[in-house]
Amino acid sequence: MEWGMANRLARTIKPDGKCFYLAVDHGYFQGPTHRLENPGQTAEPLLKYVDAVFMPRGSIRASLNPNIDTPIILRVSGGNSMVGEDLANEEVTNSIEDIIRINASAVGISVYVGSQYEHQTIMALSKLVNDCYDYSIPVMAVTAVGREEEKKSARYLALACRVCAEQGAAVVKTYYCEDFEKVVRGCPVPIVIAGGPKTENDLEVMQFVYDGIQQGAIGVNLGRNIWQNDSPEGMARALQAIIHENFTPKEAFGLYEEMKNNS
Ligand code: R5P
């Protein structure tokens, strides 16, 4: 593997083979999401717990301190919105020059397998891999379902992950689901799990992250369940302990409560 690619992967996947990405990209299609009104302010206290931050260029340039050490995974797809016709209608939004200019350690793109825009988004992934690999920049493919929540089955996600891996994604981000091992088994590249809407119960988040790791995910790309929590730092620290320090959900919950009560 080219040195630059190996170096970027090593910055975003730690020596234990695991990773913890903070997702703060929601504004690119959701607008000013609750607690993400100022994304830099939301992200900065959490950066010490995570291995990379997933953000679009607008948030980075407008609100993130360029002195941070945390690697950037640049969200490079868009062209849709919550109030538009179809969430799947995405394309690549950044030129390769802009990806390099921002010093991205990796890029992330959504792919909508099975949607009306399947071909467009798979080909966008494919072209992005061609452009980024010329400069040793790894690509994270996001298996996106838009509003079609019912698609989150092992059968569908295994198909979507494999399609993304075959186009050259270095890492695939997908949802945790029942029979998640099947998804991992069919995907030749590492998988990270996404979060979803804020859950009622904090332990639930720790449990699904723990289960996902046990079943073969190398880490997570999580947003709302961290920064919409009453103790974002407590949740980030608890998840870091599960991902990198082999904490059980119960042990991590203890850590979370301690931090929450002391804040
Ligand atoms: C998906 O691509 C989104 O833009 C987020 O990056 C992803 O859903 C993870 O965030 P959350 O844990 O809030 O779902």
Which CATH number is 106's domain given? 3.20.20.70
Number of domains in the chain: 1
pLDDT of residue 58: 98
| 194 CA to centre of ligand 1 in angstroms | 6
Q: What is the pLDDT of residues 213-230, one digit of tens each?
A: 999 999 999 999 999 999
Residue 7 inside a domain? The answer is yes
Residue to mutate (ligand 1; options 19, 20, 25; most atoms within 8 A of CB): 25
Give the structural domain span for 125. Answer: 3-33+49-196+218-223
Residue 160 inside a domain? The answer is yes
- For 21, what's the count of Cα atoms within 13 Å in the CB-facing half-sphere? 33
Q: What angle do helix axes 232-245 and 202-214 make, rounded to 10 degrees?
A: 20
pTM assigned to the model? 0.96
| 215 CA to centre of ligand 1 in angstroms | 20
The residue whose CA is least distant from atom 3 of ligand 1 is 26
Phi and psi at residue 109, to the nearest 5°:
-140, 140
* Spatial separation of the C-alpha atoms in residues 10 and 170, rounded to whole Å: 12
Strand partners, 107: 74, 139
With 90 as the cut, is the pLDDT of residue 198 above it? no
pLDDT of residue 96: 98
Residues in the chain: 263
* Spatial separation of the C-alpha atoms in residues 171 and 141, rounded to whole Å: 6
Q: Which residues make Cβ contacts (< 8 Å) with residue 241, sequence separation at least 6?
A: 247, 251, 252, 255
| 144 CA to centre of ligand 1 in angstroms | 9
Residue 110 inside a domain? The answer is yes
Residue 158 inside a domain? The answer is yes
What is the position in ligand 1's atom list of the atom closest to the CA of 196? 14
| 55 CA to centre of ligand 1 in angstroms | 10
Residue 255 inside a domain? The answer is no
* Spatial separation of the C-alpha atoms in residues 200 and 120, rounded to whole Å: 36
Residue 63 inside a domain? The answer is yes
Residue 167 inside a domain? The answer is yes
Name the one residue in this structure whose structure tokens are 């790791």: 213
With 90 as the cut, is the pLDDT of residue 37 above it? yes
Name the one residue in this structure whose structure tokens are 């903070």: 22
The residue whose CA is least distant from atom 6 of ligand 1 is 23
Residue 202 inside a domain? The answer is no
Phi and psi at residue 89, to the nearest 5°:
-80, 70
pLDDT-derived band at 152 (thresholds 50, 70, 90) equals confident
The response to whether residue 196 sits with its C-beta less than 6 Å from ligand 1 reads yes
What is the position in ligand 1's atom list of the atom closest to the CA of 23? 6
Residue 76 and residue 107 in contact, taking contact as beta carbons nearer than 8 Å: yes
